[in-house]
Chain A
Amino acid sequence: MSPSAQQQTLDLFIAIGLVLVVATIAGALLKRYVAHGQPHGVIDNLNARIKAWWVMVAVIGLAFLFGRAGVMLLFFFASFAALREFITLTYTRRADHDALATSFYLILPLQYVLVWIDWYGLYSIFIPVYAFLLLPIAGVLAGDTTRFLERTAKVQWGLMICVYCLSHVPALLNLRIPGYEGRNVLLIVFLVLVVQSSDVFQYIWGKLFGRHHIAPAISPSKTVEGLAGGVLSATILGAVLWWITPFNVWQAALMALAINVMGFFGGLVMSAIKRDRGVKDWGDLIEGHGGMLDRLDSVVFAAPVFFHLTRYWWG
């Protein structure tokens, strides 16, 4: 990381810290004066979320301190936790054991090694081509044909979502953008900040002004007002952050818009799967938020698109 990038990263973390301080104080005031110290579903959940944000920001900050290796490890473990949650909610049989062990112990680490050594030609097709063909072979050798296509497809889908798509976040470090050398970590900050703030803004706008549900059959909490207000706010935030990116102001706004739209639909798709499986959250790793996948559903859908848009026009 270049010294100027270091300074900007530090500035951003201080700004995020200040926002969290304000949020923590507001949460404590709500608990005291609105909930009168009594248990209150929405306010308690809000405070749990804010607390979890402190932890998440601290973990991301710690990873950044260790540079490239820290970022790779962070997302490797995030992929691991996400895949674990995904496969747990997926129907598998004893015969899938070898395919699952291969996914966890071979494909997942190898994808991150390929990203680490910057072998773009392989990490961009490794799971869509090689895992796609090898896993059903491992499965068919176990000799159990019950719901075979369904089982194979679900393991592949889990790998695509939890490993392939998510690995595009650390892959941003590999992009070679003229005039932006040594500052790539700020692309990750931009992506994560815009996507996550979009979730937070949608939550706030939805709680304050939400009236019209977008997809009541899929997610009871997503409203038109929340979506419009959230995406607009997060897009403005993206534009305001143009100075940490290789983009100019309107380019940064369009990028943020693309990220937000993908992120929104990512959340919707992952909610549909949860709904089908009869669960509210993917896990309970992160207090107040649910599981790793609940926090990352929008990042997962936005990351590859952001990666390729940036690579195509700037890389």
Chain B
Amino acid sequence: MTPALDRFGATAICRFARILTGARALWLGGPPTAGPRVYYANHSSHGDFALVWACLPPDLRGRTRPVAGLDYWDKDPLRRYVAHRLFRAVLIDRNREGRKDDPIQQMAAALDGGDALIVFPEGTRNVTDARLQPFKTGIYWLAAACPDVEFVPVWIENLARVMPKGRFVPVPLLCTLTFGTPQKLHPGEDKDAFIARMRDALLALSPQEM
């Protein structure tokens, strides 16, 4: 496969995701900027990372890599192609025992290389009634490893509004991705305080709180 074909495939996926959901991006925390940053978002659907990726300006998209589970994306050649070549995903092994690479080091290496990352700190998809599940601690260890990197909260809204639990007719609303104010690890801030602050910054973008 040639790079041109990869780019075409990636663009096609973006177009499809945007047409299907009508997704639009609101940059409330300032305009998008290039360079190493971490976009962290709430996670309710398999399409989430494609949607975040599709909503970035095209020139930033090429330098932004989703962080995804190795167990899911390494299963067959097609998924491997999509993950490695189209999205240049950073695949991490969620199985603590017996993993070769340390996920934090993998992510830090990508940031050092000048790329941005897309992460979902809830760890798994949210199928509960809560707006947001508790965060895993990985986001803190990443911030501790890269204290200069900005963390941009991204609230993905409306997939739940389109078809609430217990209803069978979807309402054709547009999905909105709200990009908030970049956050950094404060000097001396401990793990729980940082994670709580990051979670609040993300929740503050949810329209129910607005």
Report A's interface with B, CB cutoff 8 A: 80, 84-85, 87-88, 91-92, 94, 97, 100-101, 104-105, 278-279, 283-285
Contact = CB atoms under 8 A, between A and B. Distances in A.
Interface of B: 22, 24, 26, 28, 158, 161, 164, 167, 169, 171-174, 176, 207, 210
Interface of B is mostly: loop
A101 to B, nearest CB: 5
Nearest to A91: B207
Interface of A is mostly: helix
Given A91-B207, A101-B169, A283 B24 contact: yes
Contacts of B161: 92
B28 A104 contact: no
A283 B22 CA distance: 9
B173 A84 contact: yes
Given A84-B22, A88-B173, 17 more contacts: A80-B172, A84-B172, A85-B174, A87-B173, A88-B22, A88-B176, A91-B207, A97-B164, A100-B173, A101-B169, A104-B171, A104-B172, A278-B26, A278-B28, A283-B24, A283-B174, A284-B24
A81 to B, nearest CB: 9
Contacts of A279: 26
A115 to B, nearest CB: 21
B174 A84 contact: yes
Given A84-B22, A92-B161, A283-B22, A101 B174 contact: no
Contacts of B22: 84, 88, 283, 285
Nearest to B24: A284
Contacts of B26: 278-279
Given A88-B158, A88-B176, A92-B161, A97 B24 contact: no
A279 to B, nearest CB: 6
Given A94-B164, A284-B24, A105 B169 contact: yes
